[in-house]
Amino acid sequence: MPNDTIAGLGTILGIWAHPDDEAYLSAGVMSIATAQGQRVVCVTATYGEAGFPDDDPRPIDERVALRAAEMEACLAVLGVDEHHWLGYPDGRCDEVADADAVLALTPIFDDVRPDTVLTFGPDGMTAHVDHIAASRWATLACRDHEASTRREPALLYATKTPDWVDRFEDGAGYDVAMMDERALVPTTAPEDLSLWLALEPALLATKLEALHSQASQIEPYIEVIGVSQFREIARDEFFRAAHAAEWS
């Protein structure tokens, strides 16, 4: 996908659940956009403090500090210098009232006035309750922003293609990534995508550097699936437009 397509996204606001969500699903998009002088702002709902093995000896405050530092390093690689934490508890975003989360997002929307919002689809990609909540909050905040400003951002949901799933699902460690073994990886037919970015080698290298900045989460996953498979998983970024029924 040519860079002028990314330019067409204008000012981008990403709304995600945990540190590393943004890099897995949109690092290429963000890197191109910032290099072209577009404003890119990232929101993260939690510090990801629950994303450690059960026997990890570090207390919560040390986990938070580590993931915050890793996130800062990741975004620096991508050229993103505007980031907001919502500070909700990792793994418990479903307990946060939608109205409270949207209230927290409202001043960010008012300041950024995004042309494009990137987030999870309603499925949450891996069926994680935090991902699902982040998608719902982003959608509600977009709706409210449009109602108050008469400016409707393009709301794009992260997805995969059926071919991507066929190639990677069995060997990609989805038994680790999926929060519900019954859940399916969301897919969208290529002709229904709004954005498909296939990363060329230099851009893929940048994305991998950003991901490796979050070593506490990335390195254990690479041990499961291997370096080569990890590179291939990261190579493509897919988004579809929110449907009218989802928007409302």
Helix, strand, coil share (%) of the chain residues, nearest 5: 55, 15, 30
CATH of the domain at 157: 3.40.50.10320
* Number of structural domains in the chain: 1
* Two tokens, residue 158: 């992260």
CA 21 to chain centre: 4
pTM above 0.75, yes or no: yes
Q: Tens place of pLDDT for every residue, the chain, 248 residues?
A: 545 689 999 999 999 999 999 999 999 999 999 999 999 999 999 999 988 888 888 899 999 999 999 999 999 999 999 999 999 999 999 999 999 999 999 999 999 999 999 999 999 998 999 999 999 999 999 999 988 888 889 999 999 999 998 888 766 666 666 655 556 788 999 999 999 999 999 999 999 999 999 999 999 989 888 999 899 999 999 999 998 877 66
Q: What is the extent of the structural domain holding 146?
A: 3-247
* Two tokens, residue 168: 């990677």
Alpha-carbon span 137 to 134, nearest angstrom = 5
- Beta strands 154-159; 236-241: pairing state: antiparallel
How many residues are listed for the chain in this entry?
248
Alpha-carbon span 98 to 102, nearest angstrom = 6
